[in-house]
A and B are shown apart, each in its own frame.
Chain A
Amino acid sequence: MENNIYELQYAIDTFYFLVCGALVMWMAAGFAMLEAGLVRSKNTVEILTKNVALFAVSCIMYMVCGYALMYGGDFFLVGIAGGETLVSDALASSTENGFDGDSVYSPASDFFFQVVFVATAMSIVSGAVAERMKLWSFLIFAVFMTGVIYPIEGSWT
């Protein structure tokens, strides 16, 4: 019975991460529309391109090395899906933490929740340099910001 409750707790905590992550992902759309609305119309397509491309670059770079630099684990999220012992490990960890302790959830849902914050941070940069910065230089900066700079800072906390 206790294990059943832990299973449900794991499921609902994972689901909470995923749903809130999807809402934060939606902030990328919000920033894109906000910035497109605020720049002069001759800069619209470029700011839209920056916004969609920075989101994609953030997701890829954080997957490649950012998440590993920030939280440990392997590059390219190797092993994030969990292996044969996924269920028993999660149950053991839940039992150790008890009902009042830290939540136990899917590592993949944690990545999903974290990666959308990286993209949000990068959106802020795009707003700050709107109408002024070269597209490809911006995207190359995005590679370093989301792959290294943000994760190193994040790892300090």
Chain B
Amino acid sequence: MPLATLGTFILWMGWFGFNGGSVLKLGDIASSNSVAMVFLNTNTAAAGGLVAALLVSRIKFGKADLTMALNGALAGLVAITAEPSTPSALSATLIGAVGGLIVVFSIVLLDKIKIDDPVGAISVHGVVGLWGLLAVPLTNSGATFMGQITGALVIFVWVFSASFAVWFALKSILGIRVDAEEEYEGVDLSECGMEAYPEFVNPS
């Protein structure tokens, strides 16, 4: 858990570069003010996502689930990334909070319908990313819901079909799934030949 927490903090900080740099210009008053708003909104969306996910997990599971809180912060960051410059501070917090809310339910739902996603990547990036895209027209009058949906669909269809072709080829030539036995033993030994924590006592 300390590594997961540190990883989240690293991503949180790195995201200032990710979104702030995407303004592409800093050298005048309007651009630098815009970069400052992007920093502010990126930070506050992550905070909103974290608090929302923590509260939902407290209500839903009865405990403050740290993994959900961390995923909530990342969800807030993902949600604001589609449009970090036009929302007000409060809107950015709410966009992040809705992201944090969605990610908890999405992770639970994917578990329920038995879709295997050990780190919640589909929920954090896919589902919340879609929410972020759809939230753009709420604060940016230059975007429309239909435009956002069309864009998301086009991207999904292209990436899904192109990736499917590559995965299909890989599956026929090399195979993609590790053996059941390797999976049980963990892929550290079978693929890399070493353990991450060799001195830990293994109860199995």
Contacts and interface: CB of A to CB of B under 8 A. Distances in A.
Binding site of A, secondary structure by majority: helix, strand, loop or mixed?
A: helix
Interface in B51-89: 51, 54, 58, 64, 66, 69-70, 73, 88-89
Contact size range, A: 35 or more
Interface of A: 7-8, 10-11, 14-15, 17-18, 21-22, 25-26, 28-29, 32-33, 36-37, 44-45, 48-49, 51-53, 55-60, 63, 76-78, 80-82, 86-87, 90-91, 106-109, 111-112, 115, 135-136
Given A22-B16, A53-B54, A109-B39, A7 B29 contact: yes
B43 A59 contact: yes
B22 interface: no
Contact size range, B: 35 or more
A106 B10 CA distance: 25
Contacts of A32: 2, 5-6, 9
A11 B66 contact: no
A49 B9 contact: no
A15 B50 contact: no
A10 B89 contact: no
Contacts of B93: 60, 63
21 contacts: A7-B29, A14-B33, A14-B35, A18-B16, A22-B13, A32-B5, A32-B6, A48-B66, A49-B54, A56-B46, A58-B47, A63-B90, A63-B93, A77-B88, A80-B37, A80-B88, A106-B32, A109-B32, A115-B43, A136-B58, A136-B64
A120 B149 CA distance: 40
Given A36-B5, A76-B89, A136-B64, 6 more contacts: A48-B66, A52-B70, A53-B51, A78-B90, A109-B39, A109-B40
A29 B6 contact: yes
A11 B30 CA distance: 9
A87 B33 CA distance: 9
B89 to A, nearest CB: 4
B40 A112 contact: yes
A56 B9 CA distance: 11
B40 to A, nearest CB: 5
Contacts of A56: 46-48, 50-51, 54, 73
A111 B48 CA distance: 17
